Chains A and B, each alone.
Chain A
Amino acid sequence: MLEIIRIHNELLGTYGDRGNADVLKFRAGLRGIKAKVTDISYTDALPKEGDIYLLGGAEDAAQILSLNALKKGMTLNKAADKGAVLLAICAGFQIVGSSYVTRDGQITGLGLLDVATNPGDKRLVGDIAIESEFFDVPLTGFENHSGVTTLGTDVMPFGAVLSGNGNGINGVDGAISGNVFGTYLHGPILARNPEFADLLLERAMGIQIPHVTDEIADHYAKWRRTVIK
């Protein structure tokens, strides 16, 4: 059974990112792989044995609550150290970084990705397309944030920005280190890019998984690549 842990959706659920868990479960199911989505709220203890952990976008006050809860016990860090897959979107991406800055000053993040986020001078809102070495096709999504995220030396960018802003600096989006993926793409990203969902499933299973055709998913992903503004 593949354990998918959706973390603090009531806090990190402003932008539809909860759908990433649903798509992972669905695409596992297409291959006959049993998967379970567990919602962990702010007041719950985070399970240690998850295969895939998901963090989504949030407003400022929710972001800090979630980060503080994740710092207790550092369960997510321990799971990531053991190789669990982690996908962190937008505010989630900032949470797993080394630091980010709020009105009240600099906040220390979980340090799972060597990135630092500072406030930008404008809000970055709109369609985004990126090119990542993992995929033959561009990934598409929607971004809405005002952070500028600078990468340290221990991470690689997740992709090069083809259209839109991403990290807001150096023409890249997101960051990766091992099985930890951070990105600014909402959409939800896994709904709009089934290739990425499959990559995460493979990483979590540790084996190559059979290719499946889900016509509507492929059609949707392809079509959305054509309507990037």
Chain B
Amino acid sequence: MASPRLTIAIFLAKSASMASRIIGNKGETISGRILLSLEPEAISLLAQKKQVILISGTNGKTSTTRAIAAIVRQLGEVSTSGSGSNLSWGAAHALMSKAPYAVLEIDELHLPTVIAQTDPAVVLLLNLTRDQLHRMHEVKRVSDRWHVECTEASNTVFVADIDDPFINYAVVNATNVVRVSFGGRPHPDGAVCPRCGSYLKWKSGNYSCTCGLTNKISDRKFKKGSAAMRNAILANVVGEVLDAKPMKFKESELERTISKAFGDKTAHFRLTKNPASWTEALQADIKQDVILVLNARQVDGIDTSWLWDLSFAPLKGKRIIVCGERGLDMAYRLHVEGIESTVVDTFDQAIVLTKNKEVSVLSAYTAFFELVM
């Protein structure tokens, strides 16, 4: 039986959510905030009666959370985070539901707290690369925090993609771990062993350190594949831990790609928000006409230095139109790599300048949501 305080807090939070939805918002943030301000322990209290599954990592959180929610739905009703709503109030909102399963996407910096609060059944750790450094500061700082909490959480099963040394280090002392490897892949920030600080030895995407940290010893081994394929497999490994049947996913279901018509043009949007997601996107099929949208708000990362940490060579020879609040940062970056582009202010101006019917759009986080959601 919930405490009267929690019951009242839920009632008020749900009312606020309804009011917020009436005026056209998603209603998740407000209800979660109200709930937590009236009952700061709400997350722990609500999580007690549920099987909680958490998903975190730099890239792929939202789509993998969606896949896991679909898998777990085979077992019973699931409440899940709204798209990208991954801070504590997003979790609080999702946990208000009566569903026996909660599948929640959690921001990297919030993960340790939410693990401590919810005592989750399973936590999936996808990857850690540089992102929003104004907030994360350093990749190692995030993995250190994960390491401490993963070591503590002895009831939880961690599903970890250990091809990423930061993930391997996070779970290295955890009690229950399913270590998954896809045969290795290079890591853009993985020159130093996150566990002992030595120069990490890499060979064909596999690493081994003198301290013993390596991706060569795993519990489950799969073939190499795209980020989307890896995330589909990881989602099913989480399902397996919960005794759910595996599901098949199309690669496109696990990419942040959405096609949308603009007049007679079809724009194929893909979310690109840091060097790792850009590199992944640039390896995929890109149309002859390409629009790049760059913003630098808080969730995009307020600094654009990272544009210089990846090569845009796959865009050579294409018609490039750049827009967004930091379009000029992008245009100059491309210019120095020998790629010329046209700079306009808005996406509407950009789409008019494309010549072909099919257009690729590689978009920053905030712009992606504004343009396609």
Contacts and interface: CB of A to CB of B under 8 A. Distances in A.
Interface string B302-337: 110111110000000000000000001101110111
Interface stretch (A93-101, A148-156, A159-167, A213-221): A213-221
A62 B137 CA distance: 14
Interface stretch (A79-87, A112-120, A169-177, A185-193): A185-193
Interface in A173-229: 186-188, 191, 216-217, 219-220, 223-224
A59 B139 contact: yes
Given A22-B336, A59-B140, A64-B197, A11 B305 contact: no
A219 B231 CA distance: 42
A144 B137 contact: yes
A59 B138 contact: yes
Interface stretch (A12-20, A45-53, A70-78, A130-138): A12-20
Contact of B189 (A14, A123, A217): A14
A142 B308 CA distance: 14
Nearest to A10: B191
A187 B307 CA distance: 10
B199 interface: yes
A65 interface: yes
B328 A219 contact: yes
Interface string A20-31: 001100100000
Given A11-B191, A42-B191, A64-B197, A191 B140 contact: no
A120 to B, nearest CB: 13
B224 interface: no
Contacts of A219: 328
A15 B131 CA distance: 10
Nearest to B338: A26
B332 A217 contact: yes
A172 B46 CA distance: 51
Contact of B335 (A14, A62, A216): A216
A19 B336 contact: yes
Interface string B189-205: 10111100111000000
A33 interface: no
B336 A26 contact: yes
Contacts of A188: 305, 308
B332 A61 contact: no
Interface residues of A, number: 36
Contacts of B189: 14
B66 to A, nearest CB: 31
A71 to B, nearest CB: 15
A126 interface: yes
B185 interface: no
A220 B309 CA distance: 19
B133 interface: yes
Contacts of B193: 61
A223 B192 contact: no
Nearest to B189: A14
B197 A65 contact: yes
B220 interface: no
Contact of A187 (B130, B133, B305, B328): B305
Contacts of A126: 134, 302
A164 B373 CA distance: 36
A220 B191 contact: no
Contacts of A187: 305
Given A14-B130, A61-B192, A220-B328, A19 B305 contact: yes
Interface string B335-350: 1110000000000000
A64 to B, nearest CB: 7
Contacts of B329: 220, 224
Contact of A23 (B130, B191, B192, B336): B336
Please provide the 10 A-B residue pairs with the shortest distance between their CB atoms, ordered closest to farther.
Answer: A19-B308, A16-B305, A61-B197, A16-B308, A10-B191, A142-B303, A220-B332, A59-B138, A61-B192, A26-B336
8 contacts: A13-B309, A19-B336, A22-B337, A59-B138, A60-B140, A125-B134, A144-B134, A219-B328
Given A18-B308, A59-B139, A142-B305, 7 more contacts: A15-B133, A19-B308, A59-B192, A60-B140, A61-B194, A186-B303, A188-B308
